[in-house]
Amino acid sequence: MTHLPPGFTILALETSCDETAAAVVRDGRSVLSNVVASQMDMHRRYGGIVPEVASRQHIRSLTPVLEEALAVLPTGWQNIDAIAATYGPGLSGALLTGLNAAKAIAWQRGLPFVGVNHLEAHIYANWLQVPAPVATSDTSPPDLPAFPLVALVVSGGHTLLALLHDHGHYELLGQTRDDAVGEAFDKVARIMGLDYPGGPAIQRVAEGIPRSEALPRAWLRDSYDFSFSGLKTAVLHKVREHQAQTGTSNLDAQFVAQLAHAFQESVVDVLVTKTINAAAHFGAREILLAGGVAANTRLRHELARRASVPVRYPPIWLCTDNAAMVAAAAYYRFEAGVQSGWDLDVIPGLKLGA
């Protein structure tokens, strides 16, 4: 355990998927800058992320994103005490661009460097202070998440439930056995002819639908694992059935809205039930929600409504991929005395707790 000096400032890079991001965070909590260049528009026309396009775009975006992130600091580089970057999980080519840039910066400036697990970073978005602190007479910092914690991480590539005993001490309780939640949203949206990304599209059309015919829920009893592929297939079946009945491949808006609602309800019910059960079973003091799908308002509200312990989730701009969360996770690694060597390589299939 190292006590980091007050004002310890980390510059972090995140390029695991389709966002090129850089951020400067002080004391592991105060977001001084957070710049994200999204490739969403480019990938939208393909209905998903294209790896080669992603890597090329990261290389193009990195320098301007980095410069913008540093521009807020009065003395620029002089303020930076350490460097961090995501090294997995993600697309290998995309991860390489950010990791290598970060290593080069750290080496050239003689700064400590640490690689961060992207999944851990999503969880640490909950440690960031929002909005950025302003000088007030009240010197007591806003409360930090209290261990033990149960964290639900839901995104385009990941769905997992973890028990956090302390910083750096995690236990994976469950994960998806097939599709990630975000992936299921994307694929189901595609089946129903909705836009990419599927999460916001499904949430939008499902809004205002009071109830719908329930779709199946995969409970996988006696396990904290998840499964969403059966639900995806159930939606596919409903669509085929409807097309056969109406004699046209066009789906009417009312049918799509009902089905989107039923799909979202099924997903939210399973995620919320398993999370609150885990929190009760392990005596968690809080529940943390993280990852891009944590932006889903239905999931947020339902989890907060049904949980008996406080539920914490980051603002939407810190749920989706960003580098501030990487800096937050890096802070606690540096504090634990951890640093990465120059030989740190990307690990596309990196797990939580590895």
Partner 1 sequence: MAIERTSHSPAQTMAIGQQLGAMLRTGDVLLLLGDLGAGKTHLVKGIAQGLGSVDLVTSPSFVLINEYVAGAAHANMRIYHVDLYRITDPAELTSIGLEEIWNDQGICVIEWAERAQHWLPEAHLVVQIRYVDEMTRALRFVPQGARYQHLMAEFKDAAGD
Return the range that interacts with partner 1 (CB under 8 A); candidates 44-52, 246-254, 264-272, 285-293: 44-52
How many residues interact with partner 1 (rule CB under 8 A)? 37
- Give the interface segment with partner 1, choosing from 41-49, 63-71, 144-152, 298-306 (CB under 8 A): 41-49
- H and E: helices and strands count for the chain: 11, 10
Tell me whether residue 133 or residue 348 sits nearer to partner 1 (CB atom): 348
Cβ atoms 141, 118 nearer than 8 A: no
Contact between 42 and partner 1 by CB under 8 A: the answer reads: no
Q: How far is CA 336 from CA 5, 10, 88, 289, in A?
A: 13, 15, 20, 24
Which pair of structure tokens corresponds to residue 192? 């129903």
Residue 310 in contact with partner 1, rule: CB under 8 A: no
The contacts of residue 139 (CB under 8 Å, 6+ apart) are: none
- Closest approach of partner 1 to the CB of residue 52, in Å: 4
Of 28 and 156, the one with the shorter C-beta distance to partner 1 is 156
Positions 226 through 265 that interact with partner 1 (CB under 8 A): 229-230, 232-233, 235-237, 240
Residues 294/300, Cβ–Cβ less than 8 Å: yes
Q: Is residue 297 within the footprint of partner 1 (CB under 8 A)?
A: no
DSSP conformation class of 16 = S
Cα 271 to chain centroid distance, Å, stands at 15
Per-residue DSSP letter, 32: E
By rule CB under 8 A, what string of x and - marks binding of each residue 50-79 to partner 1? xxxx-x------------------------
- DSSP letter assigned to residue 235: H
Interface with partner 1, residue 190, by CB under 8 A = yes
> What value, to the nearest 5°, has the Cα angle with vertex 292 and ends 117 and 156?
80
Q: Min. distance of Cβ 333 from partner 1 in angstroms? A: 23
Minimum Å gap between C-beta 316 and partner 1 is 21
d(CA 307, CA 99): 38
As measured in angstroms, the least distance from the Cβ of 226 to partner 1 is: 10
Contacts of 108 (CB under 8 A, 6+ apart): none
Q: Which residue is listed with tokens 């943390």? A: 288
348 near partner 1, judged by CB under 8 A: yes
| Binding map of partner 1 across residues 106-145, x = CB under 8 A, - = no contact | ----------------------------------------
Interface ranges with partner 1 (CB under 8 A): 17, 46, 48-53, 55, 89-93, 156-158, 175-180, 183, 187, 190-191, 229-230, 232-233, 235-237, 240, 348-349
